[in-house]
Amino acid sequence: MSDKAALIQEKQGLINQMLDMQRQFIEYEHQHGITGKDYWASSEGLLADYRQKYLDMADRVVDLAHQIVGSRRVD
């Protein structure tokens, strides 16, 4: 597998994980409801690390997309 193919595969894997996280979040929200406090300050369960994990994955997807096409992020 080429380096580019490996990057594409990693990117798609992260996107699939993010979609799964979104499905779980929606299901949880429908079953339990979510307050702002739950979303921003929860320290247990599904929401404990949700925002940070999702943000880290989204950042990695952007970085991978840039690597795949040979561009870079602009600060």
Instruction: Name 38's Cβ contacts closer than 8 Å, sequence gap at least 6.
Output: 47
> Is residue 14 domain-resident?
yes
Does pLDDT of 22 surpass 90? yes
pLDDT of residue 39: 84
At 40 the pLDDT is: 84
Quick check: 35 pLDDT over 90? no
Q: How confident is the model at residue 9 (pLDDT cuts 50, 70, 90)?
A: very high
Domain count for the chain? 1
Distance CA 64, CA 10 (A): 8
Q: Is residue 75 part of a domain?
A: no
Query: Domain range holding 30?
Result: 3-69
- Whether 74 maps to a domain, the answer reads no
pLDDT band at 58 (very low <50, low <70, confident <90, very high): very high
For residue 74, the surrounding DSSP H or E stretch is none
